[in-house]
Amino acid sequence: MKELKDYVITIPDFPEPGVLFRDITGILQDKDGLHLAIDKLEECLKDLEFDMIVAPESRGFIFGMPIAYNLNKPFVPIRKKGKLPRETVSASYALEYGIAEMEIHKDAIWQGARVVIVDDLIATGGTTDAMIRLVEQLGGEVVKIVFVMELEGLEGRKALSGYQIDSILKYPGK
């Protein structure tokens, strides 16, 4: 049986020379790879008491939604600015090429809700930090953050110190 890392496709020199891009579409395109990823993420949540799963557009949706369904929890989407129809709160975060914003519905998280954040990748931690700020602004408590992959060389965990983090696959570089 294959391990989850066997489904990740490594593409050298993308998007720029010297970068090893870790492509998750190999996981998604294989039924066994997808099952394995979801199962391993769910294992990270074993025995954890929590109320809901929050995940960002779009790859976080891919992994967060089936976990919420399997564990009978609500799923709360965080989307790019301007994509949610009701009243929202927003948080900005830095990108390599500028600043972006994400939003969550203002009524999506109740006071004291115990929240798990699910995403595909932790790199610098900037996007996840913005999600944490949104959850906490609405009165929720982030009790765990789970990722499929972690790029350890970008030290995203440092930006998220104080939070419980699990990643299934860890890559030493950037």
List 59, 79, 114, 133, catalytic entry? 59
Question: How confident is the model at residue 98, as a pLDDT?
Answer: 82
pTM for the whole thing? 0.96
Task: Choose, from 16, 49, 87, 96, the residue flagged as catalytic.
Answer: 96
* Residue ranges for the chain with pLDDT beneath 50: none
In this predicted model, what pLDDT tens digit does every residue of 95-138 receive, in sequence order? 767 899 999 999 999 999 999 999 999 999 999 999 999 999 99
Asked if 173 contacts 20 with a C-beta cutoff of 8 angstroms, the reply is yes
User: What per-residue confidence (pLDDT) applies to 116?
Assistant: 99
Q: Judge whether 59 counts as a catalytic residue.
A: yes
DSSP one-letter code for 155: -
Query: pLDDT at position 167, please?
Result: 98
Those residues with Cβ within 8 angstroms of residue 86's Cβ, 6 or more apart along the chain or in another chain:
105, 106, 107
pLDDT at 156: 93
87 an active-site residue? no
Per the CB < 8 A criterion, the answer to whether 79 and 60 are in contact is: no
Residue 24 CB contacts under 8 Å (≥ 6 apart), including other chains: 8, 59, 120, 121, 148, 149
